[in-house]
Amino acid sequence: MARPSDFWHKRLTRRQALSSLAFGSLSLAILGACRQEAAAPTAPAQAPAASPTPTRPAAASPTAAATPAATPAKAAESPVPTVAPGTKITIALVPKLVHPFFEDVRQGAAQKAEELGVEFQWVAPQTADPAIQVQMIEDLIAKQVHAISISPNEPKSVEPVIAEGMSKGILMMTFDADSPESKRVMYIGTDNKAAGKTQGETLAKLLGGTGKIGIITGGLGALNLNQRIEGLKEGIGPNIEVVDTQATDDDLQKGLSVSEAMLRAHP
């Protein structure tokens, strides 16, 4: 049986791996833009004659499962960012809030930034406030950073600011929580519904297939958390009742109060 310390080590490793993957993907995308600009050939003095045989465009390369890209139609509306060779690349990460979970993410991103030799900015709201998060992203766009990775508090709230960043040549992506209808170039994170279903199935086994449960979540507007709840409800089956669902706004003290109130209401 795995020790508790093994569990926490694995969880921390996954968090840091997630941030490293997200940070590394953005860095490689920007470095690719640098290389494209550096390698762009000058136009020949005389253009070669056009081939009479029409050519078909090359097939698009498959998107990696871990980093699904935005739909081609959305991506085509935004300019491809270019970075002059020798430019110091700046990438910003914007989590939902200041929280121990995201501290592991910050550490992983900082490590990857040092490895890649790029500048890293970490900008986190004190609370899970969508409006404050959007303002922070707008400030980063005004500073003309090269890329911004966001864990949205609410998927809809960041759609306009993601579109703004992309329109100005800034690579915008999401991690941990997605904004699937936005123009972000990629999302890196967990299959949240599948994770929730696994949790629900495990919980059902522990309860013997019947019983009552309460759900305490960070925020009712967070897409990733709602996907986990959806999966959990599917995993527990029809004979386990969800008596209540409450949000803590990712506040530890509020979480304690909500838990105590739920236990009193459903002893």
**Mean pLDDT of the region 201-208:** 96
171-175 vs 147-150, strand pairing mode? parallel
pLDDT band of residue 79 (cuts 50, 70, 90) is: low
Percent of residues, the chain, with pLDDT higher than 70: 69
Region 176-199: what's the mean pLDDT?
Answer: 94
How high does pLDDT run on average in the chain? 79
pLDDT digits 0-9 by tens, 89-112: 999 999 999 999 899 999 999 999
- Confidence check: pLDDT of 69 > 50: no
Closest CA to 151 of 77, 197, 101, 115: 101
Which pLDDT tens digit goes with each residue over 102-153?
Answer: 999 999 999 999 999 999 999 999 999 999 999 999 999 999 999 999 999 9
**pLDDT of 226 over the 60 cut:** yes
pLDDT at 66: 39
Q: Which pTM does this prediction carry?
A: 0.69
Q: Look at residue 259 in the predicted model and tell me its pLDDT.
A: 95
Per-range mean pLDDT, top range of 25-29, 83-87, 180-184, 222-226: 180-184
Q: CA geometry: angle at 228 spanning 223 and 232, to 5°?
A: 150
Both structure tokens of 193 = 């519904």
Q: Please report, to the nearest 10 degrees, the dihedral formed by the alpha carbons of residues 251, 253, 256, 261 taken in order.
A: -100
**pLDDT of amino acid 29:** 53
pLDDT for 166 equals 96
Query: Which positions ≥6 away from 4 have C-beta within 8 Å?
Result: none
| Confidence band for 251, pLDDT divided at 50, 70 and 90 | confident
pLDDT of residue 231: 97
**In sequence order, which ranges of 143-246 are alpha helices (DSSP H)?**
159-167, 192-206, 223-236
Q: Are 99 and 176 in contact (CB under 8 A)?
A: no
**Ordered domains of the chain (ranges, CATH):** 13-36+67-188 (3.40.50.2300), 192-265 (3.40.50.2300)
Q: Give yes or no for residue 57 having a pLDDT over 90.
A: no
